[in-house]
Structures are given as structure tokens and as C-alpha cells.
A and B are shown apart, each in its own frame.
Chain A
């Protein structure tokens, strides 16, 4: 079940508003495609990220994917637990497997992302292509 309390990017990241911050992670579809995550490279606290620009890399044994930030802003927290135990990203991509927290420049940016329903459609369209 794709959580409907957050927005989704076409690159399979999610963004959830929490107070005056936005929490960011990858979707269940992404972690399934990737396989067991072995390594994730994230920005540091204080770095600037921009919407739809590369912010890091996530690796499995057989694949590597760029991570694209779904929002623009300043990184205020990084999930060190997920970095040291990346299995959390596979097991709980929407909760324990969060990646970074961002102080967003402009919450309106989230309107440009997809709803849970739209994202599900996006994923199944992709499936139909393959």
C-alpha cells in the first residue's frame, strides 16, 4: 500500500511534510527494483539540495542508482542508522528507511510531485512498457 500521507517523484523518491521539515526516502518499488541495498551515499547536514537534481547514490550488489532530491532546501538531518544498516531501506522504505530531512525553501514545490494514486499509475505504466 503506497502511503497517501506524502508526495512522490518520477524518480521513485517520496517527500513527507513533518512540521517545518520535509522527510525524504525511496519508494517500495525502488527498493524492490534495486534488491538488497549495500551502500548509500547521502549529502551532509548543511548541504543544499535542489528538486530533481542528484543528491546521492544508492547501490545494491548488481545495480547503482542516482538519488534525486524531491525538494529544494537545506539538509538538516541524515539517517545515519540507514547508512550503517542499509537493510532498513529494504525492510521499511517509508518509515525506518528514511534518508534525509530537509528544511524546504518553498513547500509549493510539492505540488509538482505526484499523489500516491498518481505514483501507482506511473509505476504500473512503467510495468506495461516492459
Chain B
């Protein structure tokens, strides 16, 4: 029996010591009518057999690593340096649990403290937590946090916020009495823009949530919005792409009160949607309303420096129904991936990869924009994604591309009926000029 080492002899000795004849006696408290059901599952199989079957499933997939990938929209195909996996998958990190006993968990605790520090430096914010589930739930938690801090119930979401993020916020605030207001988008002289949010900010507004770069790739200026929030005491929540922060002005410098992000682009495999990592940072004065675990520095009796989980009175195991959130298990191991990734790249590496994404995307946009019938709708400035209006149905286009080994961008019709002839393309450092030229050639061929 795999992973159950007990021998028959050991079991016999233990049963005798416990004072029962068989282990089934220990289950007598289970109502007889429902005890020991027959499970309609195959019997267990040896590792060799199971791996053959599982590999067989994986082999039928065509992953982005085998294709020229131009698909983004919140999940990104980036290069993960080999040292990330080699370190993060060490058993001492992977098979330990929440550091409840700090004396034997300093590895996890110090790595967490470093993660928090890196997020603060990247975002230019005061304090960060030890991670949430993903970028979308981080936005939802930020909204709840803003409602607690301001005691207001109206929340304004930018029209250019990732539609799935908006959806998660809706799930989290349903039936709470939150008034959720969404800005819209429009096209203006061939450029896709979002509706101005300033007019939507009023004295009942708890927070305004914006995304940088936007879902459509645009880089925005939030000076006017920050001023509008200041006028009524609303909080500014910014959702960022953390890799883009190797280049772009960080949320702290825009005056964000709460900054959140999806950390997948920092050294984490796409893995069909998860596990990823949600980042959250805020101003020092709001730290006690921030959800999630937090590691802090501490000293022992001999003055040695160590790290502990701290400010735990915010959390569910102490505060129960009055906790900032119900979050317990987080994304510690994925946060470690990001910590190692950022350590390996440093400022010049992160700047380099961000610039590469920018350069490839702009080359691609320029080349596609030259094709008859294709129109780039995302105006400058944009980061590494852009919307293209296509002369053919996007689904057909993507099928054609796939037959050439190219993973096309995201058809936007699923989220925006008015953009059902549009595709969101993404370029990263994983693309090459040859790949982009092949994409353009295939599009040109029609």
C-alpha cells in the first residue's frame, strides 16, 4: 500500500495496545447504515502505471511552450530562470507548513519577510502582506478593506479593469449592500479608451479601482484621479502588472492607498490558471486593516534577530467573525518563487525583461497595423498588450494561426460584444522577431 508503512505485525501490536480486535472497532461511532461504503473508483496502481496514464493526458495538450505564444490577458508566458524551481522546490520549503513555531521555521519566515520587502520596494509602498490567493481576490479584499476603512459602501471600478477581476469583486460583495459602479469604455477616433472616472467619484465612494497597464494594455496617468479621490476622502486602489514595474512608475508614486497585483508573471508557471499569488501592499497607517498573514522582525532573549508572524489579531484564528478576512492558507510557496525570481533578476534584469516585452509588443503592433484590414485600437502609450480589430472572425483567425503553431491573442467578444471582431495580443521576452514575422505573415495571408 503506497505511503502507508504499517506492517501487519505492527498493526497487530498496536491494536492490542489500544485494546480493540480490529481497526474497524474504532469506527463503531459511525452510523452502521452508512459505514464503509463501496467507492466506485479503480483500485490503486503502481507509480509506473499511473505516470504512464497521467503523462498520456499531458501529451495530448499543446502547451504555450511548444507554440509561439501571443496570448496574455492576465496570464503571461515568461522565462523562468532554472534556479527558481531548483530552490523553491526544495523539500524544506515545500513540505513545511505555516510557521507556527518560529524557532524551526526561520527559512519560511525570513523568505516571507524578504517577499514583503520586495513587494514594498517594487510598488513603492509602506507595508505588504505575505500573499493572497491571486490578483483578482486581492482586488476583492482591497475593496472590502477600503469599505472598512472609510465606512462607505460605494465602489467605482475602472472600465479597463480585467473583466474576470470585476467578476470576482462582484461575487465577494454580492448582497452586502455595496453599490458597485463600473466605468465604461469607448472608441474615440479609432482609439480604445476608457470613460473618465473622475465624474463617478463622490463623497459616498469608498474607493476607486484602476488597473495599470489596463486590460487593453494602456498605460495611464492617475494624477487627476488621485486628486478627485482626495477631494472626497476616497481610497485609490491600483491593480498592477508587477513585471511592468521594472519600467513603469509604481503605484506608491501615483499615490495609491492600496496596491494589488497578480504575481504570476514573476517566476511562476502559468499552469492552466494556478496556483498563482496575489500581492497586496498599503500605507503604514492602514496595516491593521490589511488581510492576510504578515511576517515581522523580532529578537530572542539573546538578542539574535529572527522573524515571526505578527499582527495576528487581525486574522481569523484570533478575531474569528470580526477578522479582516477568512484567509488562512495563502500562496507561500509561490511567493517564494517570486522572491527568488526578483533576487536573480535584480533591478537591471527586471528592467531588461520589462523593456523586452515593450519592444516586442511595439514591433508587433507596428507590423500588424500595417496589414490591410487590421487596426490597432490601443493608443500609445501601451506596455506589452494591444487590441487589434481584425477583418476576419477572431475564432477563425486563431484556428488558422494554431495550424501554423501560433497561439493567437484573446478574442474579446466573450467580454465585450462591441469588440467581437477584436483580439488582445500580448508579446513577452519569450517571443522572437522570427515568431512575430511569422504571425504577421500568417495574418497577411488571410
Interface residues of A (CB under 8 A from B): 38-39, 41, 57, 59-64, 66
**Residue of B whose beta carbon sits closest to that of A58:** B313
A39 CB to closest chain B CB, in angstroms? 7
Contact of B312 with A62 in the complex, beta carbons under 8 Å:
yes
Contact residues of B between 310 and 329, Cβ < 8 Å to A? 312-313, 318-319, 322
Contact of A39 with B288 in the complex, beta carbons under 8 Å:
yes
B104 CB to closest chain A CB, in angstroms? 19
The 8 Å CB contact of A39, one of B313, B318, B319, B322, is B313
Interface residues of B (CB under 8 A from A): 288, 312-313, 318-319, 322
**Residues from chain A with Cβ under 8 Å of B319 in the complex:** 64
**Residues from chain B with Cβ under 8 Å of A64 in the complex:** 313, 318-319, 322
Chain B binding surface, main DSSP class: helix
**Residue of A whose beta carbon sits closest to that of B320:** A64
Counting chain A CB atoms within 10 Å of each CB, the highest count among B288, B312, B313, B319 belongs to B313
**Residue of B whose beta carbon sits closest to that of A66:** B322
**Residues from chain B with Cβ under 8 Å of A63 in the complex:** 313, 318
Contact of A61 with B312 in the complex, beta carbons under 8 Å:
yes
C-alpha gap A64/B313 in the complex (Å):
6
7 residue pairs from A and B, CB less than 8 Å apart: A39-B288, A41-B288, A61-B313, A62-B312, A63-B318, A64-B313, A64-B322
C-alpha gap A46/B146 in the complex (Å):
24
The 8 Å CB contact of A62, one of B288, B318, B322, is B318
**Residues from chain B with Cβ under 8 Å of A59 in the complex:** 313
**Residues from chain B with Cβ under 8 Å of A60 in the complex:** 313
Counting chain B CB atoms within 10 Å of each CB, the highest count among A38, A63, A64 belongs to A64
A80 CB to closest chain B CB, in angstroms? 16
**Residue of B whose beta carbon sits closest to that of A41:** B288
C-alpha gap A69/B312 in the complex (Å):
25
A47 CB to closest chain B CB, in angstroms? 13
C-alpha gap A38/B296 in the complex (Å):
14
The 5 tightest CB contacts between A and B, nearest first, are A59-B313, A64-B313, A64-B319, A64-B318, A63-B318
**Residue of B whose beta carbon sits closest to that of A61:** B312
C-alpha gap A16/B312 in the complex (Å):
32
C-alpha gap A29/B312 in the complex (Å):
22
**Residues from chain A with Cβ under 8 Å of B322 in the complex:** 64, 66
**Residues from chain B with Cβ under 8 Å of A61 in the complex:** 312-313
C-alpha gap A75/B231 in the complex (Å):
28
C-alpha gap A60/B288 in the complex (Å):
13
C-alpha gap A39/B312 in the complex (Å):
11
C-alpha gap A63/B312 in the complex (Å):
8
**Residues from chain A with Cβ under 8 Å of B288 in the complex:** 39, 41
**Residues from chain A with Cβ under 8 Å of B312 in the complex:** 61-62
Given contact pairs A38-B313, A39-B313, A61-B313, enumerate 10 new A-B contacts (beta carbons under 8 Å): A39-B288, A57-B313, A61-B312, A62-B318, A63-B313, A63-B318, A64-B313, A64-B318, A64-B319, A66-B322
B424 CB to closest chain A CB, in angstroms? 45
**Residue of B whose beta carbon sits closest to that of A60:** B313
**Residue of A whose beta carbon sits closest to that of B309:** A61
**Residues from chain A with Cβ under 8 Å of B318 in the complex:** 62-64
